[in-house]
Amino acid sequence: MTIVRLGYVAMSMELKNASPSKTMTYTAFQKLADREAAIRKLERIALSNLENTHRLLKHNAFSEIHFYRLTSRLIPLANHEVLLDWDYMKPLKEKLQEIGEFANEHKMRLDFHPDHFVVLNSSDSGVLKNSLKTLKMHYLLLKGMKINPSHRCVLHVGGNYNDTEQSLERFIENWMDIPRGIQKMIILENDDTSFTLDDTLYLCEKLGIPLVFDYHHHLAHHHNDNWEGNWERVVATWKDSTLPIKMHISSPKSESEFRHHSDYVDVNMFFTFLNEIKGTVQEIHCMIEAKKKDAALFTLMEDIRKREDVEIIDGSSFYIK
């Protein structure tokens, strides 16, 4: 039997006033005449985001959820070019440690998925530089939580630039200039428009990067639909990781908007995948990418409890027989 653990992304539909992504625009920052006072305000926003993150983790512990994606928007304007002298980690140190201790105590897997502007295969040195600054922030946040950063940050391959092969090779070239600590943090995901499972596997196998299989993305964009034939190769990319293999699950909003995520996850679509991979791994962690966040997880678990081919473990985990 295979253990399946479900997770969700960033926000809760149940907790009120618990956004971990409150922000401040640079325009608003500029309007504050006292720069030091403006920076203190940024720090208060960041601390509020971390406090709400802690609340979300407590909600997860109560709900027996062991897998959670942190928002990448915890620190507003962290990498803005006019704030490079701001040591944003210093005022957050104590709260980050509290969050990390809580996650470790409750054996929660935490990770990140930076926004689309983090592009490692860009030919623009400025884009690459800013991408690395953003990844460094994620690295420092994980270190601040005393969480091993290895394999905690999901990225897409990047831009296609109308030439898939050249774009893949540029990723390899740029990879050689990325610090080793950042390299070890990264895991790659197949996407729904540019880089298929086959393309992403090529990079992951060549560079020793774990692959996060997105089943919905594969259905939307593939060279061939036989993902099952590549599954052993996907599993093999995780052989040197201390973490269980992970995948993304979502459902199409509609046939006409197939690439868009639905509010909830279609349990039958999910089990089409699970029935193919059961027994191939001891444990798999499935990140739900649905508009209804934790409500989608709870609804999916309600649907799963009605099935006869599972054995429920807790609020977000089950064996598939």
Position 156 in a domain: yes
How many domains is the chain partitioned into structurally? 1
pLDDT, one tens digit per residue, over 107-126 is 999 999 999 899 999 999 99
Which H or E element spans position 188?
Answer: strand 186-189
129-161 tens-digit pLDDT: 999 999 999 999 999 999 999 999 999 999 999
- Residue 292 is part of a domain; what is its CATH number? 3.20.20.150
pLDDT digits (tens, 9 = 90+) for 52-110: 999 999 999 999 999 999 999 999 999 999 998 999 999 999 999 999 999 999 999 99
Among residues 264, 109, 266, 241, the alpha carbon closest in space to that of 184 is found at 241
Contact in structure between 109 and 68 (CB atoms under 8 Å): yes
What pLDDT score was predicted for residue 224? 83
Q: Answer yes or no: is 55 within a domain.
A: no
Q: Given a cut of 90, is residue 175 above it in pLDDT?
A: yes
- Evaluate whether residue 27 is within a structural domain: no
The one-character DSSP state at 278 is B
Does a structural domain hold residue 8? yes
Residue 62 belongs to a domain: no
Residue 301 lies inside a defined structural domain of this protein = yes
Q: Are 293 and 13 in contact (CB under 8 A)?
A: yes
CA–CA separation, 54 and 52 (whole Å): 5
pLDDT at 33 over 90: no
Structure confidence by residue, pLDDT tens digits, 240-256: 999 999 999 999 999 99
Specify the pTM. 0.96
Tell me the per-residue pLDDT of 183-234, one tens digit each, with 9 for 90 and over.
999 999 999 999 999 999 999 999 999 999 999 999 999 988 899 999 999 9
Q: Is residue 22 part of a domain?
A: no
Identity at 86, one-letter amino acid code: W
Query: Residue 128 falls within a domain, yes or no?
Result: yes
Q: From CA 158, how far away is CA 124, in angstroms rounded?
A: 12
Q: Domain containing 158: what range?
A: 2-17+110-320
